[in-house]
Amino acid sequence: MRRLTISSLMWLGCAISCAAGSSVFGDDPEQLAAQAIHAGQTQDLHAIPALADGLSDESRLLRQSSAWALSQMGGAVSDFSAELTAALADQDAKVRCAAATSLGHLGRTAWRAESALWQATLDRDVDVRCAALIALRTVSVSKHSAALGALCECLQGPVADVQSEAIATVAVIQSRWDDDEKRMLVPHLGRIFATANDDLRLAAAVLLGDLGLPAAPAIPALANAADDLDEHVRAAALRTLGRLADDVDQRWNQLQAEHRTALRRPCDIAAKTLAGHGKDSAEVARLAKQFQQLMDGIQLTVGEDQVRSPATASHPLPVKTTATRNSTSKVNASSDRAWRWTLAGLASCLGLGLLWFGLSRRMAPGRGQAPQNSRLAEPSVGSTQDVAPPILNFAVPDPGRVVFA
């Protein structure tokens, strides 16, 4: 934006110089350019139609002045968005830059210029590319087919200003993309985070957190920044790591098998890297523990997936397995309760058996009566002999009847 300001001052100086000689040249292009600059400075809305006509003039200076003046009028130039869109293809870079700026001021009312603006992001002039990226934050209203390729080109380019504006534009429109489209940006953002200046690294770290789970491949690079020299970059990296860890935990059961496998390596690296830096920071130690817990869950689930694969091939019916440690503990608790109920049932059956046996003995025939065939030997009356002890003679029970002893 500093370049745009300097360019505006240069145009103004040129126009003033031309205006000084207007008495000699009359209504020539230089004088018209000076009048266009004055209209832009005073925001003379009545001059807008004439300024729009000046965009197609043969004079390069008049086209530049007219485009700059229209960029100062804000949304009042909405009726001339077609002329501004056509100016994006002008041969002069200053005209293209001013036209992109004017379209950005129009916002979504200039949605028909979106395709031309995406094309302008690949312009050979840096100022035009930056102006187009800025304009697209307000003009873009749809998921344009050229957006992803243009932004990837801007992110992997060598110009820091273009990278910065591209990151800011992605932050505005990334919500329209699915996870696969977001993953295409992650390698470029990871490279910027690893090699660019601190301002760009800070912006890249924040954007990776906004992208969510598709940014998981950048987890190792973010973990390495746990001891970064720049405190702002370090704080942004740790905050993004926390957001990504939460996303992995919440969306794990919704991921496909190949995406689960791809998450193992970055989470393992993060857990080990953060564990080495967690001695001096409670936040780093907490993240190291969180990623280690994720690794435990990931290893459990991936192991179950490997066991399930051959079983699924031989059995057409789906095999349900436990995906988390919480569900495993629930199954164990259910098994313990089943064993307790089984033991309680066995004890109840045993008690009922003993009760039936005792009742059967009390209700048996002849229980508590003397045997019918038994008698006592009584001594004769008047006998002087010693009385012998009584002898009990039990009759032999009938073999056909069972008597409980």
pLDDT at 123: 96
Q: Are the C-beta atoms of residues 297 and 244 closer than 8 Å to each other? A: no
Q: Are the C-beta atoms of residues 219 and 238 closer than 8 Å to each other? A: no
pLDDT at 342: 79
pLDDT at 351: 78
200-214, 232-246, 276-290, 296-310: least confidently modelled range = 296-310
Element at 275 (helix H, strand E): helix 257-277
To the nearest whole percent, how much of the chain has pLDDT over 70? 72
Q: Which two tokens stand for residue 73?
A: 């009028």
pLDDT at 13: 52
Residue 305 pLDDT level (bands cut at 50, 70, 90): low
Give the torsion sign (CA, 132, 133, 138, 142): positive
Residue 302 scores a pLDDT above 70: no
Nearest residue to 73 via CA among 32, 105, 115: 105
Distance of CA 237 to the CA centre of its chain: 15
Could you give the CA distance from residue 35 to residue 30 in angstroms, rounded to a whole number?
9
Mean local confidence (pLDDT), 2-27: 47
Give the torsion sign (CA, 154, 159, 161, 164): positive
For 22-66, write each residue's pLDDT tens digit: 333 346 888 999 999 999 999 999 999 999 999 999 999 999 999
For 308-366, write each residue's pLDDT tens digit: 555 444 444 343 333 444 444 444 555 566 677 777 778 777 777 777 777 776 665 55
160-169, 267-276, 337-346: least confidently modelled range = 337-346
Buried b (16+ CB within 10 A) or exposed e, 291-303: bbebbebbebbee
Could you give the CA distance from residue 59 to residue 80 in angstroms, rounded to a whole number?
20
pLDDT at 87: 96
Could you give the CA distance from residue 24 to residue 32 in angstroms, rounded to a whole number?
13
Q: Give me the residue label for tokens 């001021």.
A: 105
pLDDT at 377: 45
pLDDT at 160: 95
Question: pLDDT higher for 8 or 130?
Answer: 130
Could you give the CA distance from residue 166 to residue 137 in angstroms, rounded to a whole number?
10
To the nearest whole percent, how much of the chain has pLDDT over 90? 55
Residue 201 pLDDT level (bands cut at 50, 70, 90): very high
76-80, 106-110, 153-157, 326-330: least confidently modelled range = 326-330
Could you give the CA distance from residue 281 to residue 372 in angstroms, rounded to a whole number?
98
Q: Are the C-beta atoms of residues 118 and 144 closer than 8 Å to each other? A: yes
For 68-105, write each residue's pLDDT tens digit: 999 999 999 999 999 999 999 999 999 999 999 999 99
Q: Which two tokens stand for residue 345?
A: 């049932």
For 205-263, write each residue's pLDDT tens digit: 999 999 999 999 999 999 999 999 999 999 999 999 999 999 998 988 888 888 888 88
Angle between helices 29-42 and 60-71 (to 10 degrees): 10
| Mean of per-residue pLDDT scores for the chain | 80
Residue 2 scores a pLDDT above 60: no
Residue 300 scores a pLDDT above 70: no
What single DSSP character describes residue 46?
G
Residue 307 scores a pLDDT above 70: no
Mean local confidence (pLDDT), 393-405: 47
